[in-house]
Amino acid sequence: MHRPTARVLTVLEILQSRKISGRELARRLEVDGRTVRRYVATLQEMGIPVEGERGRYGAYSLKRGYKMPPLMFTDGEALGLALGLLAARGLGLADLAPAVEGALAKVERVMPETLRDKLRTLEQTVTLSVVPPVNPPDSGVVSGLAGAVGERRRVRLRYRSVRREETSRVVDPYAVLQREGRWHLFGHCHLRGGARLFRLDRMLGTEVLDETFERPPELDAPEAVLGAVANAHGPWEVEVLLQTSMERAREGVTPMLASLEETEGGVLMRCTTGNLDGMARVVAGLFYPLVVRNPPELRDALKRHATEVAALAERTEDKVPS
């Protein structure tokens, strides 16, 4: 399906090469004349001098002498763009793959030979650490939700929970993000009355509503959003004192996992979780001394995990259950 923005850009591309009638534009774009006039008005509002001739044989054209400036990149910018496209291959949005490959081919085509060789060497020798996607969503869902975030419009979701319960809920979307190979929507859920994290692969349907919302001012910065996400994982409030420096703490704890705050004796890690056993595995994997402050049940989960690990250490091939 062609999007209005893509059609407007198509009109601009055609006008850069020739004068064309409104009827011919409508035929090429498979729209009516009124829609063509709306696209032309959009270009004019953007400051592009599109001129129209009235009458039976009237046509649209760009003002004589007007040329769109060529898109120019420095070598560093071109290389950065190409590497970004290479990383985009790992996002798991299969229906965007042709677009990514096409854009990469275009960038390579305009590169100097020496820079093109450097890119191909990087492509063959550099491995980008991108978590393989799990149940990747349709790119239309991602872009639709991202548009709702940008326009601050509410969305209605049909959602299936981990318990297979289906609900309909209205959400104020704050961010679309990828975490540990899964795509999520973070926002305020009106059904539950609080911030929630929704997996896109559990969404049965999405609808962007006309109703708008005001995002909390404390969530304007991306870092603040990540901190809020860390506290939207479940009912258990976790506090762990990491007896290390902030620099080392950040090596093991990502912003989406937990917030970090320097305090007496080290760094305080705060987050929420709905799975204490999973949090116990995360905490046990940290490579510095720590003290669990809350909840007490996390200590019990750590003990269970320690017992499981000790049992694994005792296993031998002749003791493995068949």
Domain boundaries, the chain: 4-62, 75-125, 146-224, 233-311
Per-residue model confidence (pLDDT) at position 249: 92
Q: Which residues, listed in sequence order, are joined to residue 268 by a DSSP beta bridge?
A: 241, 261
Per-residue model confidence (pLDDT) at position 295: 93
pLDDT band at 2 (very low <50, low <70, confident <90, very high): very low
Q: Are 178 and 91 in contact (CB under 8 A)?
A: yes
CATH class belonging to 233-311: alpha beta
| Secondary structure (3-state) at 70 | coil
CATH architecture of the domain with range 4-62: Orthogonal Bundle (1.10)
User: pLDDT by residue (tens digit) across 29-63?
Assistant: 888 888 888 988 988 888 888 888 876 667 888 88
Over 70: is that where the pLDDT of 98 sits? no
Per-residue model confidence (pLDDT) at position 1: 39
How many residues would you count in the chain? 322
Burial of 174 (0-12, 13-18, 19+ CB in 10 A): buried
Integer angstrom CA distances of residue 239 from 2, 213, 297: 49, 32, 12
- What tokens appear for 38 in the block? 């709306």
CATH class belonging to 146-224: mainly beta
Integer angstrom CA distances of residue 271 from 15, 100, 286, 303: 54, 36, 15, 20
Task: Provide, rounded to the nearest whole percent, the portion of the chain with pLDDT above 70.
Answer: 84
Strand intervals (E) in the chain: 50-52, 60-62, 153-160, 166-179, 182-189, 194-199, 203-212, 236-242, 259-263, 266-273, 290-294
Q: Which residues, listed in sequence order, are joined to residue 259 by a DSSP beta bridge?
A: 270
Q: DSSP class of residue 138?
A: P
Query: Cα–chain-centroid distance for residue 166?
Result: 24
pTM for this structure?
0.54
Same fold, 146-224 and 233-311: no
CA atoms within 13 A on the CB side of 202: 16
Q: Are 36 and 22 in contact (CB under 8 A)?
A: yes
